[in-house]
Structure 1
C-alpha cells in the first residue's frame, strides 16, 4: 500500500537542512516498518529517492510564487481535480495526481511549518490535502507547528485541512491550543524526530563518552543588531568552554560537502568563533543521525536551532536555547518542556546568559534523571501514534 509523504526535503544548492530531513526520515522509517510503501514529495526528487531509497516526486509548483500567483495556482489545481481544467504534460503536479490515484494515505509530515511568513508552504500543503480528499485519500497531519502568525486566509486554509484530516499530531502546547481554538482536536506528541538513532535506554548508540559543548545557531535575530548578538553569543561560548569543556560548532543548515566554503549557519559560526577568546572546533553538518548523536554525547548544548534541542533533550543533555521571537520561543520551549527542561533564553536576555549557564550545569544530574524517567512513556506514545497513522491507510 503506497503512502504519499510530503516533507520539507530535498537538497538544493548543496545545502542540507537537518531537522526537516530528520522528520521525513522518521516518517519513512516508521511507515515502512508497518508494511507501507512511502513515496516522497520533494524539492529534489532524485536526491531524496537516493537518500532514502524510496520513489520521490516533484512538488506542486508553489515555490517562489507570490501570494496572488500561489492562489491562482491552487485554484487551477483544484479545478483539475474537479475535472473542469487540465494540466499540461510538463506540469510538475502531473506525477502527484497520478500517485494520488493509487495512494492509500497522504501524510503531511513535519517541516515547512505552517505560518504566513512561509506562505508557499501553506499553499503547498493545504492544496495537496484538498487534492487528496478529492480523490478519497485520507490525510494525516503530523509533527506540526502551526502559526503563531496566520493571517485570515491562511488561518482558514489550515483549519480546513485539519478539519478534513483523519488524524492531527502537533508538537507543542501552543499549537495544540490554537487547534483547540478552532474547535478541533489534536494529539500532542514530542517532535517526530525525537528518537532518531536513540537507543532504547536513551543512549546515543555511539561508543564515544559524553563531553564538551556543542553550539548550533541560526542567523535569525528578529531585527536585533547582528554585531551585538554575535559578540554576546561569543562571550557565552567562552563561558561555556571554561565551565564545561571544549566547544564545537555544528551547522544545522549547512553544506553537504564539508570542504565547501562556509554558508548558512556555518558562516555565522565562523564570525562568532573569531570573536571568542577560547579555542573552538567545527564539526561538518553530516547527516541527521550524525547531528543527533553529536548533541546526545555532549555535556551541554547551546542552540538557536530547534532540532538540536529535539535530539538532545531525550538523552538528558542540558540545553540552553536562544529564542529570537515568539515563534522560536514556542518551538524551543515546547521541545524542552516535554522533557522537563526550561532553559529558553530570549536574545535580549543574553547579558544574563552566564548566570543561567551556571544554573543549568549545576542541574545536569537532575536533567538527565528527568529525561530518563520520561523516556519510556514518551517513546511509547510516539509508537502508538505511528500505529494509528499506519492504521489510517488500512481503513
Structure 2
C-alpha cells in the first residue's frame, strides 16, 4: 500500500514537535508493513536528511489572509469539478493532484492547526482531503487538536474535512466534543494519544545514556544570570561552550518556552518563567538546560532568543542549547528529571520519560493541548495557566510565593510521580499501538472496529497547589452550582442584537480570570436568539451564566438593577452587548482591588474607542473596524472634579465593590440616558476610584453612522443625552441649594454673567481684528506685486512683452 502523509514538516523554522509527529507516523506505518510512503513537505532536501526510505512531494501552501485562503480553496474545488482553466498550468495544485492520484490512501498526521489561528494550515489539510476524496482515496486524520478559535467559514471547512475522513483521531476531550458536535453521525471519530507518544516510548528502548552523552554534540551557551548582568549589562553575549558545565549527577531541569505569551507581555512571561526555574533550582539543586523547540538553524531566533531573555532574569546559572533535530531534542527531554514548559510536545516527551512535568499554559489553546497530553497518562488538573502565576490570589500573595509552593510540592511528589508514570507506561504504549493499528485499517478504506484497549485510568499522583492555582483561572471542569458566590458578577444588557451579543459572549469567555457569573438581561427582546447563542456555548460557560428575559423593555438602568439582584458576588461590572474587554481586564482589575492596601471603591482602566460599521447587506452581516483613538488620552486619575464636567468613564471600563451599593443606592431607573454618568457621580462622592494606566484593557465600540437598534445610544439618541445631562445637573443643583441656600449660586451667577459679557466684548474685538488683519494682508500682497513690476526683472519682463508684441 502506498500512503501519502501530510503534516507540517520541512518548514523554514524547524519545529521539533511537528517533525516528531512526522517521524512517529512514518515509524508506526513502517512497523505495520506500510513502507511505500510519500511525505508532503515544504523542504524536500531537509526532510530527506532526517527521514529514511520515503519519497517527498511539495506541500501545498495557502495564503494567510482569510479571504484569500477561502478563495484559493474555492478555486481548487472548481478544478476538481473539471474547470481546470481556473488556475494556470504552473499552479502547484496540479502536481499535488497527480501525486495523490498515485497513492492508495492519505494520512493527515498529528498537529494542532485545525483552527482559525492557523487557518492557512487548516485549509491546506482541507485541500488535501478534498483532492484525495475526489480521486477515491481513503483519508485518515490522526492526533489532532480542533479549535478552540473557529470563524464561521473555517468551522464549515473543518466540518467538511472531518466528514471526508474514514477515521478521525482527537487527542483531547475538548476536540472530541467539538468533532462530535460538528459531525454527530460520524462513526469514525475517536480519542487517541498524540502521534509522537509511541515514538517517544520506543526511543526509551534504544540503547543510549541517561544524560544523552551519545547524542550528537550541539553547541550551547552559558547565559549570564540577573546578578551578572548588573555589571555586564542585560544584553551581554552568552559565552560559548561545547559541553554542559554542570555535574552530571545533579537533577536535570529541561526548560522549553515559546516566545508567544498569549495576552501577556513577553517581559511578564519571561519573569514568571525565570522565577519558577529559580525556585526549582533552589528546591532541587538541579541544573537548568534550555532546549529550544522552534528556531531556524544558525539564526538563534524564536525559542533560542526567548530563552536568553528568561535566563538573564534568573539568579541561577543555566545552559542554552541551539535548535537540534527532533530525535536529539526528544532524547534530551526524555532523560530529564523535571520538565518546565509552555510548549506542548516537551510535556508529551517529559511524561513519556517519567519526569515531573510543570506545564504552564499561556492561553486556552495551550491549556487544552497540555491537558490532553496529561490525560493520556491519567493525570488531571496539573496544567497551570500563566495567569495563575502572575496573579495567584488565594494561593499566594505574589508570583515568588506561588512558585515556591508549586515547586515544593512538585519536588516532594517527584518520586511518586516517576513511579506512577513508570507503572502506566505499558498501558499507554498499548493504547498508542492500538490507535496505529486502527489507522492502518482505516487507510485501506475500511472502518476499524472499536478498540478493546481501555483508556489509562485516572492517576492519584499530582499536587494540590497546581489544582488550587487553576481554580480561579481555568474554565470549570464541571458546571458551577448557582449557590456558588463568584468573585465577579458581570451584568450584560441586550435587546435584539444577536450579532453583537455573540461577540460579547465570546469576549467574556476569553477572560483569563474564570471566577465570574454572567447575568444576561434580555430587556424585552426576542428570547430565541439569546437562548440559542447561550446554548451553543453551554460547555464553555459551565454553569456560569444566568439568562433573564423581560417581557417588556424596562430600560438600561432597570436592566442593570435586575442583573444586580440576580447574582451575589464580591465585585460587579457592566459589560454592554456591543463593547469588549482585553482578555486580562478581570485579572488586572480584580487583582487591583484585592490588594491588602487598596481602599478604593472601584477601579477604571485605560480605554480605547473603536469605531466600526456593520454591513447588513452581507450574509451574514459583517462588522468592520474603521479606526481607533484613546478615550481621554491625558487621563491619569478618576476624580469627582473631572466627572462633574463630563463623564470620564463608560460602563465597560469599571469594576467595583458590590458593597458600594449600600452607600450610594442602585442605578437610577428614571434616566433613559446618561445613567452611567450619574452613577459615577454618586460613586465618586462616596469613594475614590482607582485607575489602571498602560495599554487599554477596555474597548468602547462606537458606530456613529449606524442608525436603529444597532447604533450607540450616544449617537442615535444624542438629543436625549443632552436633555438628561441637563436634568442630572439640575437635580443635583437643586439638592445642593436646598441644603445650602441660593446665596453662593446667586453671587457666582452674577460673576459668571459679568465674565460672559467681557468674553462677548473680547470676541467682537477679536472678529474686528481678524477683518483688519485680512485687509492689511491684501494691501501687503498688492505692494509686493508693484515692487516686483518695478524691479530689474520687472523691467526685463516689460521689454520682452514689447519685443514680442505681447500685452
Q: How does 1:120-135 map to 2 (within 5 A)?
A: 120-135=120-135
Mapped to 2, the partners of 1:311 and 1:333 lie a distance apart of: 14
User: 1:126 touches 1:157 (CA, 8 Å); kept in 2?
Assistant: yes
User: What's the counterpart of residue 441 of structure 2?
Assistant: 391
User: What's the counterpart of residue 207 of structure 1?
Assistant: 209
Q: 1:223 aligns with which of 263, 279, 290?
A: 263
Q: 2:323 aligns with which of 262, 278, 285?
A: 285
Give the alignment's TM-score, normalised by structure 1.
0.93
Structure having greater relative contact order (Cα 8 Å, sep ≥ 6): 1
Unaligned runs of 5+ residues in structure 2 are 212-248, 390-398, 446-807
User: What's the counterpart of residue 252 of structure 1?
Assistant: 293
User: 2:354 touches 2:421 (CA, 8 Å); kept in 1?
Assistant: yes
User: 1:167 touches 1:389 (CA, 8 Å); kept in 2?
Assistant: yes
Further displaced range: 324-333 or 85-94: 85-94
Mapped to 2, the partners of 1:356 and 1:2 lie a distance apart of: 49
State the 1:317 CA deviation.
Answer: 0.6
User: What's the counterpart of residue 271 of structure 1?
Assistant: 309
Q: 1:321 aligns with which of 359, 383, 403?
A: 359
The answer to whether residue 59 in structure 2 is matched with residue 72 in structure 1 is: no
The answer to whether residue 382 in structure 2 is matched with residue 343 in structure 1 is: yes
State the 1:204 CA deviation.
Answer: 7.3
User: 1:195 touches 1:311 (CA, 8 Å); kept in 2?
Assistant: no
User: 2:112 touches 2:146 (CA, 8 Å); kept in 1?
Assistant: no
Mapped to 1, the partners of 2:200 and 2:365 lie a distance apart of: 27
Mapped to 2, the partners of 1:302 and 1:97 lie a distance apart of: 43
State the 1:205 CA deviation.
Answer: 4.6
The answer to whether residue 26 in structure 2 is matched with residue 22 in structure 1 is: no
User: 1:138 touches 1:392 (CA, 8 Å); kept in 2?
Assistant: yes
State the 1:254 CA deviation.
Answer: 2.1
Mapped to 2, the partners of 1:307 and 1:122 lie a distance apart of: 20
Q: How does 1:16-55 map to 2 (within 5 A)?
A: 16-36=14-34, 37-53=36-52, 54-55=54-55
The answer to whether residue 160 in structure 2 is matched with residue 160 in structure 1 is: yes
Q: Deviations over 1:106-156 (max 9, x none)?
A: 111112511111110111111210111111011100010000111111111
Unaligned runs of 5+ residues in structure 1 are none
Mapped to 2, the partners of 1:394 and 1:118 lie a distance apart of: 30
User: What's the counterpart of residue 10 of structure 1?
Assistant: 10
Mapped to 2, the partners of 1:367 and 1:204 lie a distance apart of: 23
State the 1:176 CA deviation.
Answer: 0.9
Structure 1 pair 96–158 and aligned structure 2 pair: CA distance change class (3 A): same
Give the alignment's TM-score, normalised by structure 2.
0.47
Q: 2:411 aligns with which of 361, 372, 375?
A: 361
Structure 1 pair 205–155 and aligned structure 2 pair: CA distance change class (3 A): farther
User: What's the counterpart of residue 98 of structure 2?
Assistant: 98
SS in structure 1 at match of 2:201: coil
SS in structure 1 at match of 2:340: strand
RMSD: 1.9
Mapped to 2, the partners of 1:181 and 1:135 lie a distance apart of: 28
User: 1:340 touches 1:370 (CA, 8 Å); kept in 2?
Assistant: no
Structure with greater Cα Rg: 2
Q: Deviations over 1:24-43 (max 9, x none)?
A: 11111111222321111112
User: What's the counterpart of residue 236 of structure 1?
Assistant: 276
Mapped to 1, the partners of 2:88 and 2:79 lie a distance apart of: 11
Mapped to 1, the partners of 2:206 and 2:365 lie a distance apart of: 29
Structure 1 pair 208–43 and aligned structure 2 pair: CA distance change class (3 A): same
Mapped to 1, the partners of 2:406 and 2:205 lie a distance apart of: 26
State the 1:220 CA deviation.
Answer: 1.3
Q: Deviations over 1:162-206 (max 9, x none)?
A: 122110111111111111222145221211101324348x56752
SS in structure 2 at match of 1:213: strand
Q: Deviations over 1:49-89 (max 9, x none)?
A: 33213211122231x34222212211221222121224533
User: 2:5 touches 2:108 (CA, 8 Å); kept in 1?
Assistant: yes
Structure 1 pair 384–19 and aligned structure 2 pair: CA distance change class (3 A): same
Structure 1 pair 133–199 and aligned structure 2 pair: CA distance change class (3 A): closer
Mapped to 1, the partners of 2:50 and 2:90 lie a distance apart of: 25
Q: Deviations over 1:287-334 (max 9, x none)?
A: 212122112211110000100001111222111111111111101111
The answer to whether residue 431 in structure 2 is matched with residue 381 in structure 1 is: yes
Mapped to 2, the partners of 1:347 and 1:197 lie a distance apart of: 27
User: What's the counterpart of residue 187 of structure 1?
Assistant: 190
Structure 1 pair 261–164 and aligned structure 2 pair: CA distance change class (3 A): closer
User: 1:254 touches 1:266 (CA, 8 Å); kept in 2?
Assistant: yes
Further displaced range: 209-218 or 314-323: 209-218
SS in structure 1 at match of 2:290: strand
Mapped to 2, the partners of 1:61 and 1:302 lie a distance apart of: 33
